[in-house]
Structure 1
Amino acid sequence: MTTSTATATGIPAVRPYESYVYAYPHKTAYRPLPERPALRELWAAERKDALSLYLHIPFCEVRCGFCNLFTRIGAPEELTTRYLDALDRQAVAVRDALGDDEPVRFAAAAFGGGTPTFLTAGELERLCDIAEKRMGADLRAVPLSVETSPSTATADRLAVLADRGTTRISIGVQSFVDAEAKAAVRPQRRAEVEGALGRIRDARIPVLNIDLIYGIDGQTERTWLTSLEAALAWRPEELYLYPLYVRPLTGLHRLGAGVTVPEAEALEQAAWDEQRLRLYAVGRDHLLAHGYEQVSMRMFRRADAPRESADGPEDYACQTDGMIGLGCGARSYTSALHYSFDYAVDMREIRSIIDSFTSTQDFSRAEVGRYVDASEARRRHLLQSVLQAAGLPVADYRARFDTDPWADFPAELAEFAARGWLDEGAPEGLLRLSPLGLAHSDALGPALFSPGVRAAMAAYERK
């Protein structure tokens, strides 16, 4: 855990925004797998009755200044065709690896990216066919979440998604204030955003999620409330409130945002941290007052919104064992190995990886990944549970691992308690974060990373 100055209690202070933990271990801890294990062997002993399916489309019409996702800008039609051809080949190989010795069932599906709706309506039909006809997922019978953007949420694309069973559409708005969108290097205007939201509502997809970002240069409490009110006017079933990060190799990083001379850096970072914490609290309190419940630091759900799954993960983080990822930026999770393809942020590197993916003929083996032993599995379970507002039932942890989280992580949990990050009023047997702890999720999560994962992440060469 990175420390700064000491607090009044004598406990070293921490930066509240270390890293967003959306998956553990992080992909920068993955390495090439020398043995290239066969997928058939990896999945042989795994449960296959409630798999999750994720299809990754690595294309966007523009790249936002804060984005470090695996995606490229624009793509000629022949490239999207080649990509879907490769996705089809991969789906055939993966489904073959799953075998037919026992029933294979998908309990949830998602299309992400990038921007899946960068594809044309016809290409989206083909994407759905790959999920259904190659993998055997019944998209109309399971929750299906799809990401979109204001400029690609067109009526014809949305009609395809609605007809094929989409239950949730997530649109990255980030800000309804044009000047803030420009500051985040996101070329859009509010009128375009409102038009897209209208088309989404017209498509009658049950769950609308709107992503907003706080901490943008020039953003104030007043302008933040402007965006929140504009979003609430559409009565979205879900809202995600993201703190802005300036990550290496992104557009904002190249422009110098968040980069200062050493003697001024600490003061500027502290001021930015304080701004983000303040705006987070404003957003949280505003949504709670307007009938939303907090699911995690980022996710808020309208109290009367439909639940897509009674037994699935509350947050849309890619955490679940039994994840099948298709596409060059997707991850797959077995109980013992997390695997994917190579990862990059730099545009030239991404183009090279996509070209390699589209020319691949044999998708029967895992190429890049990280093995997850029993100790890492316990860390992962604690992370994915305690970062949810509902918390971790200790009995569930004991049933799965035959041990206790306080016995496995005594130093970490003691520090969290000393900082006031644990809810002392939680019911007996429930390990739950306090409101202060939820606000510091991006410091608490990385504090649970193992030394081995930390070392691998530190040694990763960005590209």
Structure 2
Amino acid sequence: MDAKQWGVYVHIPFCRQKCFYCDFPSFAGRERYWEDYTGALCREIAVRGSYYRQQWGKPATIYLGGGTPSILPEKFMKQLLSELRQIFLPDGKAEEFTVECNPGTVDEPYLAMLRNRGVNRLSFGVQSFDDTLLKRIGRIHNGQQAVDAVAMARRVGFANLSLDLMYGLPGQTLEQLKESVEQALSLKPEHISIYGLQLEEGTAFYRMQELGKLNLPTDDVTEAMYDYMTEYLPSQGYERYEISNFARPGFESRHNMSYWQDVPYLGVGAAAHSYLDGQRWAAFAELDRYMDAIKENRIPVEPEEAATTAIAIEEFCFLALRTAKGISREKFLQKFGREMDVWYGTVLRDLSARKLLVDDGRYVRLTRQGMKYGNLVFEKFLLDAQDF
């Protein structure tokens, strides 16, 4: 397999405080696990990573996500980065090597250490520059720390920075969102991700909503926020290449694009997911179970239920439709052996007539209106298993 056609994801499941909207597999107050978990990660990388490195060559992308990867103390992060470079990067370089950071957990020496050990892209979880909103959603940093983190990253040599922002937050106004977007633009990041608040079961915000204690913006205000961002960011040089992601030309997240383009990836760490040889795998989410498996020289993953043909087709379409490029008819034919129209001919004609899709014969993609109402479009791509 071409070495440029796979990636590596490393999960760091630790954070200082669980954000009120977060349903990711992450834990606060688990400092006692840091050393043992780092050691387990390195052993998994040495075994599983070496196998796929030998099979496929050097990965194009490496991504450390969480949780909060930057919460790891420097000595553990150095240990992890050294193992990643030794196993995956014989020449010491990756085309894209990203680490997620919380602005409240980094200083200049720490960022310099990341840069000096091969990391070439940072993703800062800013969410907002409004201090009141940040406290309201459970973030540990303030707006000035976010500004300072970007400045420090620039000083130590990072030329590829991404900022995450959120909209639809409790008590958030359109004016507050505009101020945060303008502040973000003033920092000149290469990439901006903007996510609407989702109330996920098991989160603090979900419980508050059930109790009637969550003051969310109205649907009209949330829609105005969405329209503002999707119109304004492209006018400022940030091309929308995926439903929630905007980038200056050439700075699209290559790692995330691999998820949407059916490219294989190896997930390392507790709760990490992998997509290898057409099979999806999930690592044990419980820290003790994950680390015990590593100690016992067992692979700490189990295969997810094999996807039916219908589910595989649906998933392929859902992921590709998230991107501005859309579904490649050629790739669809190569993967499934039949043209899209066999299953979706009527759907494509209907959604095109409603100006939610564009079908140019090579790609099927969402229109701007289709991106806005993506869930309605995706629903139409669900298949009846009885047809297979």
Q: Contact (CA 8 Å) 2:329, 2:364: kept in 1 or not? A: yes
**Residue from 64, 67, 77 that aligns with 1:111:** 64
Q: How do 1:238-249 and structure 2 match up within 5 A? A: 238-249=191-202
Q: Is the aligned partner of 1:257 residue 2:175? A: no
Moved over 6 A (4+): 46-49
**Residue from 275, 283, 290 that aligns with 2:221:** 275
CA distance in 2, matches of 1:441, 1:396: 22
Q: Contact (CA 8 Å) 1:95, 1:134: kept in 2 or not? A: yes
Secondary structure of residue in 2 paired with 1:332: strand
CA distance in 2, matches of 1:410, 1:438: 20
Q: Contact (CA 8 Å) 1:176, 1:190: kept in 2 or not? A: yes
**Residue from 51, 58, 69 that aligns with 2:13:** 58
Which residue is equivalent to 1:430? 363
**Residue from 360, 374, 385 that aligns with 1:441:** 374
CA distance in 1, matches of 2:300, 2:20: 35
Q: State the TM-score, normalized to the length of structure 1.
A: 0.75
**Counting helix residues as a fraction of each chain, which structure ranks higher?**
2
Secondary structure of residue in 2 paired with 1:151: helix
Which residue is equivalent to 2:147? 194
CA distance in 2, matches of 1:97, 1:301: 34
Which residue is equivalent to 2:306? 371
CA distance in 1, matches of 2:4, 2:230: 37
Which residue is equivalent to 1:296? 242
Q: Is the aligned partner of 1:214 residue 2:167? A: yes
Q: Is the aligned partner of 1:233 residue 2:165? A: no
Q: Contact (CA 8 Å) 1:387, 1:445: kept in 2 or not? A: no
Q: Is the aligned partner of 1:357 residue 2:357? A: no
- The code of the aligned residue for 2:307 comes to V
Q: Contact (CA 8 Å) 2:10, 2:268: kept in 1 or not? A: yes
Cα distance, 1:96 vs structure 2: 5.5
Q: Contact (CA 8 Å) 2:102, 2:141: kept in 1 or not? A: no
Cα distance, 1:145 vs structure 2: 1.3
Cα distance, 1:368 vs structure 2: 4.6
Runs (5+) with no aligned partner, structure 1: 1-45, 344-352, 453-463
Cα distance, 1:228 vs structure 2: 0.3
Which residue is equivalent to 2:23? 68
Q: State the TM-score, normalized to the length of structure 2.
A: 0.88
- The code of the aligned residue for 1:378 comes to I
Q: Is the aligned partner of 1:390 residue 2:336? A: no
Secondary structure of residue in 2 paired with 1:106: coil
Larger RCO, structure (CA 8 Å, separation 6 or more): 1
**Residue from 37, 41, 45 that aligns with 1:91:** 45
- The code of the aligned residue for 2:331 comes to D
Q: Contact (CA 8 Å) 1:93, 1:363: kept in 2 or not? A: no
Secondary structure of residue in 2 paired with 1:146: strand
CA distance in 1, matches of 2:158, 2:243: 25
CA gap 1:362/1:399 in 2 versus in 1, 3 angstroms? same
CA distance in 1, matches of 2:298, 2:350: 45
CA distance in 2, matches of 1:75, 1:443: 40
Q: Contact (CA 8 Å) 2:82, 2:117: kept in 1 or not? A: no
1:264-295 C-alpha deviation (Å, 9 max, x unpaired): x9xx99x7443322211111111122111111
Identity of aligned residues (%): 23
Which residue is equivalent to 2:138? 185
Which residue is equivalent to 2:315? 380
CA distance in 2, matches of 1:47, 1:287: 35
Which residue is equivalent to 1:155? 108
Secondary structure of residue in 2 paired with 1:105: coil
Runs (5+) with no aligned partner, structure 2: none
CA distance in 2, matches of 1:239, 1:325: 24
Cα distance, 1:209 vs structure 2: 0.6
Cα distance, 1:63 vs structure 2: 1.2
**Residue from 142, 162, 172 that aligns with 2:125:** 172
Count residues with an aligned counterpart: 383
1:212-268 C-alpha deviation (Å, 9 max, x unpaired): 0010122222111100000000111110110011111112123x136659xxx9xx9
